[in-house]
Chain A
Amino acid sequence: MAEIKNYNVAISPHKLDSLNTRRIMLDVIIALLPCVIIGTLYFGLYALLLVVICTVTCFVSEQVYNLVRKKPFTTDLSAIVTGVILGLNLPARAPWYLAVIGGVFAIVIVKMLFGGLGKNFANPAATARVFLLLAYGGAMTRFIGADISGNLISDGTIAATYLGGGSVAGLFGKEGYWGGVLSMFFGYTGGSIGETCVPAILLGGAYLMVRRVIDWRIPLVYLLTSAFMVLVCYQSAGEILPQLFSGGLMFAAFFMATDYATSPKWRMNRILYAIGLGVFTVVIRRFGTYPEGVSLAILFMNLLVPAMDTFLVPVRFGQMTKSGKPKPQVMKWLMRALCIAMAATLAIAAPVMEYTRLTRRENIPVSESYEYVRSMQKDIRGNFYFNVQDSLSVPGGQDVEYNVTIGSIYTVKDISPVKQSGKYKAELSLFEGKTYSEIEEIPAGDMQTGATIVNTSLREMLLECYRAINDAGYENKEYTVPNGFSYIDSYVKAGFGGDDLFTVKTELKINDERTQPLEYVVRLKENKVFSVLPVTQSGRYKAELSFFVGKTYEEINALEDLTVSGDGVVSATKTNVALKEMLLECFLAADFQKNALSVPAGFQYLSAAADSALFDGRAYLAVGQAAITSSYTQPLAFVIVLKEGKVSEIVLVKQSTEDYTAELSFFVGKNYQAIKELTNLDTGDPNISAVNITLKAMILECFIAEDLIAGAKTLPAGFSYISAAADSALFGGSAYFVTGSVEINADKIQKLAFMVMLEGGRVSSIESIMQSGKYTAELSFFVGKTYEEISGLTDLGTGDPNTSATKTNTALKAMILECFLAEDMLSGGMTLKEDAAYIRAEYNSALFGGDAYYVTGYADLSEYNYKQPLSYIVVIKDGRVLTIEPVKQSTMGYTAELTFFIGKTAEVIKGLTNLGTGDPQTSATRTNTTLKAMILECFGEYDLAGGDRA
């Protein structure tokens, strides 16, 4: 035998498994064929074309990449597999370019750039699907479905998928739950090309498992975990099958999750991976904003695979722990236990749980008075679904109807025409994916063509959908409604468009036996009633909305005749009257909200003030009560309008239903003095007189407030009592509005408010605004006195046994002294400082005769979660602290030890280290510390100014 040998010398093993890469890929393609065929049967040749386009794109882009990178061409068919899988993941009517974009993305970005076959960490098809979903959300979620005879369900538009909140028709004569499940099983539902038909998927999956191409663990554990998680998250066994059969779950379980490169290599890790997939899929579906979670879950778990492969490695045969014991197969038993536990839970729980489906969409009742919106629904994910209809005034007339979905992030997710002209179709892309404001800004455009009219009408409809969302109470910004209104239940700024939205309610008395609850949602826009949506009203006696809609405050106010023809029992008229009042109240509330002025705190009646746009002048909302009888107090509220020192108008807001209406003529047109001097408020009816008395007090308060607002002077913050300062036109001189309280006894705290007028260094007068009726302050103690005189007053007793009056006097004394300090500031050439740490103002004090600094700050008691506000007046003269006047400090006795500082120079104070006062809580010490810093800051300013200014 010659030495010529034909045999090869090759290394062991010499026998190899018949499975090779190409064969595996071929097997996957074979397994995908049932899905492709069924997809074509259900969705038509275009679906097949999509798959083919996608496949070709994938293949070509891989080879082009190889060409560019000068690598050999690949022949392993894996690009084809990716292409077919991605193609089957597309909706059947997706535009062709999605297939191209998705294919290129999957192959080039996800696979080849990471090194090609086997080196990519993310599943190309799943990633491309997620990418397309994010980039082309509208097109990627516009699914169609097919019915049993192959007719497309809603061709060209959308078939509501189960996950998207749709319902599914029955099959084989079975209706209801099992009918729906059967339909979904056979794929007569909306979805991507390849994912609807479960038998086709199972066929392919079984083939792959038999051929040992895929590990059975991944799909089966994935499905098991999903079923278990559905049971947990949806609390319904009936949800299990629909969830498993809908969306991409089945398809992904067999064809995508099993992708080699992106799933773990060890079997136990694969189980863990599949469990993770199941958990994330269901959690995303249940709680996420996307209806479909499969691709995202795969993508997310892909990220964890490298970590799993690194840290969870198989236990070797014969592997020992450090202590020489066989290493336990923890993962193996854990995974087994988990799977068994889930299976057992399902087996036990599923049969005994009720097979009801969740109501996936909740109907929100919509008012008939909407122009376009006919129905509205909301699903558990916060998506809104509308049915809108309109009749267009094109030649011949045209009815249009759309189903609109507004997503939970308030973009137009989908518009699907139900009825529209064959000729003039709305340009949906104008609106899809847009937000409210984007739609609002779409220019109305040329109205000449039919299609433009369709578009314009669609725009109006969409805007109304958004309004309906607001009207239903979603996404609004709540305003606080001032006290005193009768009907307003809530007042919000509409989230879309910013209109004023009111919910108004009342109980209308029809006759002695019957009352009728009324509730409306009122929308004000541009000072007009934009819409009134009845929420509750009588079925028979409805308000005649056309009386009101589109009208202004004046117009509605002027409405006299609200009778409805043919309303025998005048109930409808009564409803109209009530609605009128409600609407007026809405206008008032909006006026106070929009043009609000801040009212100094401390008034008894005033609840709001505004530079009114409705009335000519300044409007005040006064709220109070009139004690009519000992058992009945009448709540009252008025809008009092002041102009040029006179009451120009009084509007009733809340009045007795018993006809105790105030006699407005007593007051209108009068000034402060005139009203103050009114003593006879009697109208012959004592009850009305009581109302009048309250009104008088209210009006006087308004004048005071007006005085304060009109002559307002700026004071730095930090005073204990002063809530406003003004040059008073009413009383002459500087007026200070001071408020405070005295503790009468443990249960009762008496609120106090006074107007203190200073003139020429003396108290010229004091107006009492609020104090106890019984223990009133003895004003004569103070009027006409100077600062020194008042601070020298020690005996403030009035012979009052309860000492309440004395307490009031004491409080008033403190208030007045504060007023003097403020006056000193205002008249001492005060300059406000904003950038200093403590100094708020500096001025030349006439009271103390030196350079005065008004400082505010905090004693830091953060361990008690408290910061004690501190305010002082520090007076410096000749380089020394002349005096320190506390304005505000702790009332608990932790007051600053002024003697530490008074009379000392900056250097001495700087050198002070021991500021303790023996105070165990160190609160006083902290106060001292802060004061020290304040004083040093004052010295800094003092030095800057070059010494004494005064």
Chain B
Amino acid sequence: MFTFANGVHPKGCKYLSAEEPIMRGPEPKQVYVPLSQHIGVAAEPVVESGAYVRRGELIGKAAKGLSANVYSPVSGTVRGVVGHITLAGKKRDHILIENDFKDESVSLPPLSEISRESVLGRIAEAGIVGMGGATFPTAVKLGVEEGKVDTLVINGAECEPYITCDYRIMKEYTHELIQGIKFTMLACGAKRAVIGVEKNKPEAITVLKEACGGEITVKSLKTKYPQGAEKQLVYCCTKRVIPEGKLPADAGVVVVNIHTAFSIYKAVEENTPCYERVMTVSGKAVDKPCNIWVKNGTLLRDIAEFCDGKEDCARIVSGGPMMGEPVFSLKVCTGKGMSSLLFLDETECESKSAEPCIGCGKCVSACPMGLSPVFIERALFSKDYKEAKHYGAEACIGCGCCSYVCPAKRFLVQSVKLAKKKIKEKGI
């Protein structure tokens, strides 16, 4: 089967939540809606303390530059802009809203006509960002100049273990998704779209194949991590190689996540802005693994309580186990890009302590980018950044395959990332 080089095969563990239909998630008493749920500049708050907001009402306006609108996920009273801890451990501005459980809502005005401009405008207006985790404002990504892009690649690979939210969307909202993809194509000017789905989701492939047609095709991909990484995905779906240091658009491709396409559908067709998302809550330490709609700004604790996630588990992770970030406190709130919350027990994750490198070369064989992590690490330790560059540190996508395979459990991704940063800093 045509695929990219190297990569790893972690256990999928998707069975935990794959068959759980998407349900409503917790109704939090209060939400801390982060003003920065995207890459770039934080949104500017447009509501004052004490103001009453409805669900779907704009509370944060996109700032100048790279930014995105933020909408209220509940109806209730604004309790002000407060500093609240984020996943990265930093205090950032959040808008605290007290839920009145009345669930009053507003929608965006319907679009008068469907054209490239209007759809792009709606995407920007609705505050849609890359919902696979990158949180790049989608309107910017799609707004490439006319004719530059001919293919839209929809990332349905969902290569990270455990996560099933995209899978559920593909299955349950198939037609909406297809509609969303059509809007996306319109927005970016692509003539065809390829939905890349890993083979371990045969049902999704079947339903999508039935539903799609014309310029939209479904491509089943080898189940291999990191199948969902942009360059690898584009390569597998279109056989195009994105040159180093270039964007997919330079290869005539735009990559959009399933959930993003779905959100575009909701924004364009249902006039619903982006204030909630489907999340997978999974892991062996959670009693009820599920796929649920979670409002932006929900405390993780609320989710844990909703699903009976145990706090005395081995590790809590936001995002997938390969690249996801550790959760150090359940006080953190969700955002547009948080696709899953995992409660892992001891059998699912190892607490590692680095041993001496035994030189097995498995990291070299695993790196999908063709780097030599072992030598990059050695170069880093001897502060020879030129050497690190020689072994390709700059091209690292941070997928973590190297760390995954290393029998000595070395912190290779971190080393390579650090080397990459140092190279950039030193301008070598």
B83 at the binding interface (Cβ < 8 Å): no
| Prevailing SS type, chain A contact patch | loop
A356 at the binding interface (Cβ < 8 Å): no
Q: Least Cβ distance of A305 to chain B in Å?
A: 10
A17 at the binding interface (Cβ < 8 Å): yes
| Partner of B369 from A263, A270, A309, A317 at Cβ < 8 Å | A317
A174 at the binding interface (Cβ < 8 Å): no
| Partner of A12 from B241, B322, B372 at Cβ < 8 Å | B322
Question: Complex Cα distance A7/B343, Å?
Answer: 9
Q: Least Cβ distance of A3 to chain B in Å?
A: 8
Q: Least Cβ distance of A115 to chain B in Å?
A: 8
User: In the complex the two chains form, is B361's CB within 8 Å of A215's CB?
Assistant: yes
10 pairs, A vs B, C-beta closer than 8 Å: A9-B327, A10-B326, A14-B317, A19-B405, A21-B355, A21-B358, A265-B374, A317-B235, A318-B244, A320-B244
| Partner of A265 from B311, B348, B364, B369 at Cβ < 8 Å | B364
| Partner of A10 from B161, B352, B390 at Cβ < 8 Å | B352
| Partner of A14 from B324, B330, B360, B369 at Cβ < 8 Å | B324
Query: Nearest B residue to A309 by beta-carbon distance?
Result: B375
User: In the complex the two chains form, is A17's CB within 8 Å of B407's CB?
Assistant: yes
User: In the complex the two chains form, is B358's CB within 8 Å of A1's CB?
Assistant: no
| Complex contacts, B414 vs chain A, CB 8 Å | 11
- Mask: chain A, 1-23; 1 = CB below 8 Å from B; 0 = not: 10001111111111111011101
A116 at the binding interface (Cβ < 8 Å): yes
Instruction: Check A260/B360 contact, CB under 8 A, given A6-B312, A16-B409, A326-B241.
Output: yes
A314 at the binding interface (Cβ < 8 Å): yes
B186 at the binding interface (Cβ < 8 Å): no
User: In the complex the two chains form, is A317's CB within 8 Å of B361's CB?
Assistant: no
User: In the complex the two chains form, is A314's CB within 8 Å of B364's CB?
Assistant: yes
| Partner of B244 from A266, A267, A309, A319 at Cβ < 8 Å | A319
Query: A13-B404, A317-B395 known; 4 other A-B pairs, CB under 8 Å?
Result: A15-B349, A315-B370, A318-B241, A318-B369
| Partner of A118 from B4, B321, B356 at Cβ < 8 Å | B356
**CB proximity to B under 8 Å, residues A657-695:** none
A76 at the binding interface (Cβ < 8 Å): yes
A117 at the binding interface (Cβ < 8 Å): yes
| Complex contacts, A313 vs chain B, CB 8 Å | 372, 390-392
Question: Complex Cα distance A316/B231, Å?
Answer: 12
Q: Least Cβ distance of B50 to chain A in Å?
A: 30
Instruction: Check A317/B404 contact, CB under 8 A, given A8-B351, A15-B161, A265-B374.
Output: no
Instruction: Check A8/B305 contact, CB under 8 A, given A14-B326, A15-B349, A326-B241.
Output: no
| Complex contacts, B39 vs chain A, CB 8 Å | none
| Complex contacts, B235 vs chain A, CB 8 Å | 317
User: In the complex the two chains form, is A24's CB within 8 Å of B407's CB?
Assistant: yes
6 closest cross-chain pairs (CB), A and B: A265-B361, A13-B400, A6-B312, A261-B359, A316-B370, A14-B321
Q: Interface residue count for A (Cβ, 8 Å)?
A: 46
Most B CB within 10 A of own CB, among A76, A117, A316: A316
Question: Complex Cα distance A119/B356, Å?
Answer: 9
| Complex contacts, B342 vs chain A, CB 8 Å | 14
| Partner of B358 from A14, A260, A309, A318 at Cβ < 8 Å | A260
- Mask: chain A, 233-268; 1 = CB below 8 Å from B; 0 = not: 000000000000000000000000000111111110
Q: Least Cβ distance of A124 to chain B in Å?
A: 13
**CB proximity to B under 8 Å, residues A100-144:** 116-119
Question: Complex Cα distance A484/B115, Å?
Answer: 117
| Complex contacts, A7 vs chain B, CB 8 Å | 311-316
Question: Complex Cα distance A567/B326, Å?
Answer: 110
Q: Least Cβ distance of A677 to chain B in Å?
A: 98
| Partner of B372 from A6, A78, A263, A266 at Cβ < 8 Å | A266
| Complex contacts, B352 vs chain A, CB 8 Å | 10, 16
B357 at the binding interface (Cβ < 8 Å): yes
User: In the complex the two chains form, is A12's CB within 8 Å of B359's CB?
Assistant: no
Stretch binding the partner chain, chosen from B5-13, B193-201, B288-296: B5-13
| Complex contacts, B246 vs chain A, CB 8 Å | 318
- Mask: chain B, 401-424; 1 = CB below 8 Å from A; 0 = not: 001111111010110000000000
B157 at the binding interface (Cβ < 8 Å): no
| Complex contacts, B391 vs chain A, CB 8 Å | 313
User: In the complex the two chains form, is B369's CB within 8 Å of A316's CB?
Assistant: yes
Question: Complex Cα distance A76/B369, Å?
Answer: 30
Q: Least Cβ distance of B25 to chain A in Å?
A: 18
Question: Complex Cα distance A6/B327, Å?
Answer: 12
Q: Least Cβ distance of B384 to chain A in Å?
A: 12
Question: Complex Cα distance A265/B365, Å?
Answer: 8
User: In the complex the two chains form, is B359's CB within 8 Å of A260's CB?
Assistant: yes
- Mask: chain A, 296-325; 1 = CB below 8 Å from B; 0 = not: 000000000000010001111111100010
| Complex contacts, A15 vs chain B, CB 8 Å | 10-11, 161, 321-322, 348-349, 404
User: In the complex the two chains form, is B313's CB within 8 Å of A12's CB?
Assistant: no
User: In the complex the two chains form, is A6's CB within 8 Å of B313's CB?
Assistant: yes
User: In the complex the two chains form, is A265's CB within 8 Å of B359's CB?
Assistant: yes
| Complex contacts, B316 vs chain A, CB 8 Å | 7
User: In the complex the two chains form, is A314's CB within 8 Å of B371's CB?
Assistant: yes
User: In the complex the two chains form, is A20's CB within 8 Å of B404's CB?
Assistant: no
Q: Least Cβ distance of B361 to chain A in Å?
A: 3
User: In the complex the two chains form, is B326's CB within 8 Å of A9's CB?
Assistant: yes
User: In the complex the two chains form, is B242's CB within 8 Å of A318's CB?
Assistant: yes
User: In the complex the two chains form, is A20's CB within 8 Å of B375's CB?
Assistant: no
| Partner of B301 from A1, A118, A262 at Cβ < 8 Å | A1
| Complex contacts, B231 vs chain A, CB 8 Å | 317-318
Instruction: Check A12/B326 contact, CB under 8 A, given A24-B358, A117-B358, A314-B364.
Output: yes
| Complex contacts, B372 vs chain A, CB 8 Å | 265-266, 309, 313-314
Question: Complex Cα distance A20/B342, Å?
Answer: 24
Most B CB within 10 A of own CB, among A13, A76, A78, A263: A13
B213 at the binding interface (Cβ < 8 Å): no
Question: Complex Cα distance A266/B409, Å?
Answer: 19
Most A CB within 10 A of own CB, among B246, B322, B363: B322
User: In the complex the two chains form, is A16's CB within 8 Å of B361's CB?
Assistant: no
Question: Complex Cα distance A11/B326, Å?
Answer: 6
- Mask: chain A, 261-280; 1 = CB below 8 Å from B; 0 = not: 11111110010000000000
Question: Complex Cα distance A264/B375, Å?
Answer: 11
B323 at the binding interface (Cβ < 8 Å): yes
**CB proximity to B under 8 Å, residues A896-921:** none
- Mask: chain A, 63-91; 1 = CB below 8 Å from B; 0 = not: 00000000000001010000000000000
**CB proximity to B under 8 Å, residues A1-60:** 1, 5-17, 19-21, 23-24
Question: Complex Cα distance A7/B241, Å?
Answer: 41
B103 at the binding interface (Cβ < 8 Å): no
| Complex contacts, B355 vs chain A, CB 8 Å | 20-21, 76
Query: Nearest A residue to B361 by beta-carbon distance?
Result: A265
B270 at the binding interface (Cβ < 8 Å): no
| Complex contacts, A11 vs chain B, CB 8 Å | 326, 411, 413-414
Question: Complex Cα distance A756/B391, Å?
Answer: 88
| Partner of B364 from A1, A6, A261, A266 at Cβ < 8 Å | A266
Question: Complex Cα distance A400/B328, Å?
Answer: 85
User: In the complex the two chains form, is B322's CB within 8 Å of A267's CB?
Assistant: no
| Partner of B322 from A13, A117, A262, A265 at Cβ < 8 Å | A13
- Mask: chain A, 180-223; 1 = CB below 8 Å from B; 0 = not: 00000000000000000000000000000000000100000000
B172 at the binding interface (Cβ < 8 Å): no
B368 at the binding interface (Cβ < 8 Å): yes
Question: Complex Cα distance A578/B84, Å?
Answer: 120
Question: Complex Cα distance A827/B323, Å?
Answer: 108
| Partner of B315 from A14, A23, A118, A260 at Cβ < 8 Å | A14
Q: Least Cβ distance of B338 to chain A in Å?
A: 15
B215 at the binding interface (Cβ < 8 Å): no
Question: Complex Cα distance A724/B246, Å?
Answer: 93
Query: Nearest A residue to B352 by beta-carbon distance?
Result: A16
| Complex contacts, A78 vs chain B, CB 8 Å | 358
User: In the complex the two chains form, is B407's CB within 8 Å of A20's CB?
Assistant: yes
| Complex contacts, B364 vs chain A, CB 8 Å | 265-267, 314
Most B CB within 10 A of own CB, among A6, A117, A262, A314: A314
